[in-house]
Amino acid sequence: MSQASPIITPGIGTEEKSDQKTDKPWKVIVIDDPVNLFDYVIRVFQKVFGYSEAKARKLTAEVHYTGRSVVWSGDREKAEYYAEVLGTYSLWTKLEQDD
Amino acid sequence: MPDRELTPEEVDAAFAELVGDLELEEPASDSAFALTPRGTVAVRISDQVRMLVAGMAGAVAMNLSEGFGTVSVEAEDPIAALEKEHSLRQARAETLAADARTVIETVDHDELDLDSAEAWLRVVNAWRIQILSSEAAAEFVRLHEGAKEILDIAAAIVQILSVELP
């Protein structure tokens, strides 16, 4: 099986399924946590992804109220890069490939 | 694990040992950190708060392998998963170690470049995460009002920098 290295860490996680195709985009998902401040998370999204304040605020609200938000999707290498950077800001991040 | 709870006097003594005779003041206002026309960040905080920030940087640097949580791995290929996990943790640790060095080197500066200010933000926030994710530290904060005050100062620094930095 050519698969599957699901990793879940408090900072960064990766999930794969054995039947997934490699060309499907990867989603960077930020998981809610009880520590990081709202304005801090908004700023991190603006800084890391270059999002507008409105978009960053919407994503942060989604994380806060639903427990998670897909903050970016695209190729795996870049998704891993973003997850790594978000980890340096102490955000809880998970990577998932689209179904 | 202690076999008894600390008395209030023991908590006070432990706190005094940690922070000495600091008279704590929260960053006075949003102007504690402010962008300058030169694109730098002016730092207007007391020497006591600077000492706290230096202490936070030291604590973050000493606990790079801890404090950012345990790692759980579910993998059909555990070796690949562990290698990935290790490289990502290593990258985070290296970034935070560099950030902590930057904070210690610039803690007495009245003006920071944006990269240094970013390092302050990440380090102080990382310290908050370390404290609030540690059961023992969280209990200490619960027991001692002064410890809570330090945590509030850290939150204020994070809040102000988050809003002020471009």
3-state SS assignment for residue B3: coil
pLDDT recorded at residue B1: 41
Q: Which residues of A touch B70 (CB under 8 A)?
A: 10
Backbone angles phi and psi of A15, in degrees to 5? -135, 140
- Please determine, for residue B7, whether its predicted confidence score (pLDDT) is greater than 70: no
Q: Which residues pair with A26 in a beta bridge?
A: A74, A97
Is the pLDDT at B159 greater than 70? The verdict is yes
Residue ranges and CATH numbers for the domains of chain A are: 7-97 (3.30.1390.10)
Phi, psi torsion values for B58, nearest 5 degrees? -60, -40
Q: Is residue B21's pLDDT more than 90? A: no
Query: Which residue of A15, A89, A91, A94 to mutate against B (max B Cβ within 10 Å)?
Result: A89
pLDDT top residue among B42 and A14:
B42
Cα-flanking dihedrals φ and ψ of residue A60, to 5°? -65, -40
* CB < 8 Å to B163, chain A: 39, 43
Does B72 have pLDDT greater than 50?
Answer: no
Cβ neighbours around A98 below 10 Å, total: 12
Contact check, Cβ <8 Å, A10/B71: yes
Count of CB atoms situated within 10 Å of the CB of B35: 14
**Which pLDDT does position B5 carry in this prediction?**
59
User: For residue A74, what are the β-bridge partners?
Assistant: A26
The H or E element that residue B118 is part of is helix B114-133
Say how far apart CA A73 and CA A69 lie, in whole Å. 11
Contacts of B93 (CB under 8 A, 6+ apart): B64, B65
* pLDDT confidence tier of residue B15, bands split at 50, 70 and 90: low
**Sequential pLDDT tens for chain A (99 residues):** 333 333 334 455 555 444 445 678 888 899 998 889 999 999 999 999 999 999 999 999 999 999 999 999 999 889 888 988 888 898 888 888 877
Least Cα separation, residue B162 to chain A (angstroms): 5
**CB B88 within 8 Å of CB A9:** yes
pLDDT at B139: 77
Give the residue, A8 or B87, on which the prediction is more confident: B87
Say if residue B74's pLDDT is above 90: no
**Residue B77, pLDDT score:** 63
The amino acid that residue A26 corresponds to is: W
**B146, pLDDT greater than 60:** yes
Residue B25's pLDDT is 56
- pLDDT score at B141: 73
The edge-to-edge listing of strands for the beta sheet with B111-112 is: B33-35, B41-43, B111-112
Pairing type for strands A92-97 and A13-15 reads parallel
Q: Which residue has the higher pLDDT, B147 or B121?
A: B121
Assess contact for A98 and A27: CB atoms under 8 A. Answer: yes
Of A9, A37, A88, nearest to B71 by CB-CB distance is A9
Report the run of H or E that residue A88 belongs to, with start and end: helix A76-88
Q: Region B26-38: what's the mean pLDDT?
A: 77
For residue B68, pLDDT over 60 is answered with no
| Interatomic CA distance for residues A2 and B21, integer angstroms | 60
Residue A92's pLDDT is what? 86
Interface residues on A facing B, Cβ-Cβ cutoff 8 A: 1, 3-12, 14, 18, 34-37, 39-40, 42-43, 47, 80, 83-84, 87-90
How much of chain B exceeds pLDDT 90, in percent?
Answer: 35
What integer pLDDT is reported at residue B8 of this predicted model? 64
Distance CA B33, CA B18 (A): 26
